[in-house]
A = this chain, B = another copy of it.
Amino acid sequence: MSEKTSTYENLVTELKELALLRSCGAVLGWDEQTNLPPHGAEHRANQLAMISGLSHERGTSSELGEMLNELSDPSTVGGEETVAFANVRDARRAYDRTVKLPKKLVEELTRATTLSQHAWVESRKKKDFSLFQPWLEKIINLKREEADALGSKTGVKYDALIEDYEPGATAAQIQEVFTPLRESLVQLVTAIQASETQTDISILERLYPTAAQKELSVEAASMIGFDFNAGRLDIAAHPFCSGIGPGDCRLTTRYDEHHFPGAFFGTLHEAGHGIYEQGLKDDDFGLATGEACSLGIHESQSRMWENLVGRSRAFWEFFYAKAQQTFPNAIGDVHIDDFYSAVNDVRPSWIRVEADEVTYNLHIMLRFELEQALIGGELDVADIPGVWNEKFTEYFGITPTDDSIGCLQDVHWGAGLIGYFPTYSLGNMYASQFFEKAEEDLGDLNAMFAQGEFMPLKEWLNKNIHKHGRHYYAPELVEIVTGKPLSAEPLLKHLNEKFGAVYGL
């Protein structure tokens, strides 16, 4: 027993060192996006490749494999209910996935996804899918090989890929919640489009000076509980949140002086990710129990603070006076009702990343269906543009006028990120389901927001979501927290109620 305990202790040490090494890469990656001088790009690529190579070597070492083998029987770590069991199980999972992939396949994928970026940019710029097509064909083939090498419990290739982003989830389970969601959303969008209520979004395009935007964003992020003593906010072309390690979590955003929502809601979104990272157990850094559960759960935190809190009527009842003081010229004369409807404008649009709370999920479902068919071998890459536009018209009632605002808009597929898209909508659903439960436990959250009280929700999330880390995988976590499996109901209820009111439906 004492010998086994000691193996677990050695495993913990090794996993923590591995995470520490990877976190050096996280600093290099953050710096690359925020500070790197143009001529430093090649050296930075070399640095990142080195850290990644060292991490891979250590993450696939036979020593690590032996420790995991010694701990393969749950009894060696005190049974299946222990923290140690969860940590060993997850380390085993990560180890097995990595060692299952042939080195040649990994190299080919790295090469293809790196080189394809240039073709994708060109292809999108020239609105010519054929330039990207051969690269995407290569990548899809390699991802199919990857899925075969990894295998999945269900035997479904696509499920092997989802596992990287949403451990324990399957396409069938996701489809089960997506189908009713899609039907209801299409109905809601149709109703909104038929509504006579008009929102005036031009008020959001007045002059909002950058320095004041930053000030207000920082104030809002602090207010909802992001700790700037353990984090920062910087500028990056493509906003992200990087949880570097205990005490150091970095948000980025971008400012457009003539578009208020971008940086403001973007910062709340990233702050939601950041509050999650800051809520993880510092002492468990490097272990499953000290790391985020999944991309979907991560996204549930960002979407909750961005949409369920930041775009709520109650939030602005508390915060609008402050915003008016900050931008007297832009909104000094704008009524809160008009501001509130403007930030909740819903309309079908081509671009996913600019989509509103309602239509966003339709963008995701479209991609989810296509990528399943691609990996399943039922759709040829050459047919993507046609199928994309057909489905888009069905879901949104409008047709992309070219592929740059259609199937070429996202970076994901060309980067080999397949199985990633559904996590965005899973995040929206988890968010509403968690929010509903939090309200059950805490009482009327919106009444609290209207008084500027955000800590009850934040602390509820700390306790019920963050502190678990990845002790449970997402499907199980949702059941533990809410007592129910994942469901589209809470999200639909929220959207119908909120936008029913905004659009007088």
- Interface positions, chain A 207-254, Cβ under 8 Å from B, are 227-232, 244-249
User: Does A317 lie at the interface of the complex (its beta carbon under 8 Å from any beta carbon of B)?
Assistant: no
CB contact between A47 and one of B24, B42, B47 (< 8 Å): that residue: B24
Q: Are B51 and A24 in contact (CB under 8 A)?
A: yes
Q: Please tell me which stretch of A28-36, A80-88, A307-315, A405-413 contacts chain B, meaning at least 4 of its Cβ atoms lie within 8 angstroms of it.
A: A28-36
Q: Is A39 an interface residue (CB 8 A)?
A: yes
- Contact between B40 and A245 (Cβ–Cβ < 8 Å)? yes
A46 (CB) vs chain B CBs: closest residue: B20
Cβ of A43 < 8 Å from any Cβ of B?
yes
The CA-CA distance from A179 to B27 in the complex, in Å, is 48
Contact with B along A434-449 (1 / 0, CB 8 A): 0000000000000000
In Å, the complex CA distance between A36 and B249 comes to 10
A8-43: which residues lie under 8 A (CB-CB) from chain B?
17, 20-21, 23-24, 27-28, 31, 35-43
Q: Which residues of B contact A36 (CB under 8 A)?
A: 248
Q: Evaluate whether A229 and B50 lie within 8 angstroms (CB atoms) in the complex, with A28-B27, A44-B248, A248-B44 already known.
A: no
A231 touches B28 (CB 8 A): no
- What's the interface size class on A, roughly? 35 or more
Collect the chain B residues with CB atoms within 8 Å of residue A38's CB. 229-230, 247
In the complex with contacts A17-B50, A20-B50, A24-B50, A247-B37 CB distance below 8 A: yes
- Taking CB atoms, residues of chain B closer than 8 Å to A42 are 246-247
Q: Are B47 and A23 in contact (CB under 8 A)?
A: yes
**Known pairs A37-B231, A39-B227, A54-B54. 14 more at Cβ < 8 A?**
A20-B46, A24-B47, A35-B232, A37-B247, A37-B248, A38-B229, A38-B247, A40-B230, A40-B245, A40-B246, A40-B247, A43-B248, A46-B245, A47-B245
Contact sample, A vs B, 16 pairs, CB 8 Å cutoff: A17-B50, A20-B46, A21-B50, A24-B50, A24-B51, A31-B31, A37-B248, A38-B230, A40-B230, A40-B244, A40-B248, A42-B246, A43-B246, A43-B247, A43-B285, A54-B54
Measured CB to CB, the closest approach of chain B to A21, in angstroms, equals 6
Cα–Cα, bound, A227→B40 (Å): 12
Cβ contacts under 8 Å, A24 to chain B: 24, 28, 47, 50-51
Q: Bound complex: CA of A47 vs CA of B248, how far in Å?
A: 12
Question: Nearest chain-B residue to A23 (Cβ)?
Answer: B47
**A231-B37, A232-B37 in contact; A244/B43 too (CB < 8 A)?**
yes
The CA of A232 and the CA of B17, in the complex, are separated in Å by: 31
Residue numbers in B under 8 Å from A54 (CB-CB): 54
Q: A17-B50, A21-B50 are in contact. Are A247 and B41 (CB under 8 A)?
A: yes
User: Interface 1/0s, chain A 85-106, versus B by CB < 8 A?
Assistant: 0000000000000000000000
Q: Hey, which chain B residues are within 8 Å of A50, CB to CB?
A: 17, 20-21, 24
Contacts of A23 in B (CB 8 A): 43, 47
Interface contact B39-A229, CB-CB below 8 Å: yes
List residues of A (263-316) whose CB comes within 8 Å of B's CBs: 285
Please report the C-alpha to C-alpha distance between residue A227 and residue B37 in the assembled complex, in whole angstroms.
Answer: 10
Instruction: Please state if B245 and A37 are interface contacts (CB–CB under 8 Å).
Output: no
Contact in complex: A27, B37 (CB < 8 Å): no
The list of the 8 closest CB pairs from A to B, nearest first, reads: A40-B248, A39-B247, A39-B230, A43-B245, A40-B247, A43-B246, A38-B229, A24-B47
Scoring A residues 458 to 482 as 1 if CB is less than 8 Å from chain B, else 0, what string do you get?
Answer: 0000000000000000000000000
A31 with B27: CB separation less than 8 A: yes
Closest to A41 in B: B247
Complex: A244 Cα to B42 Cα, angstroms: 12
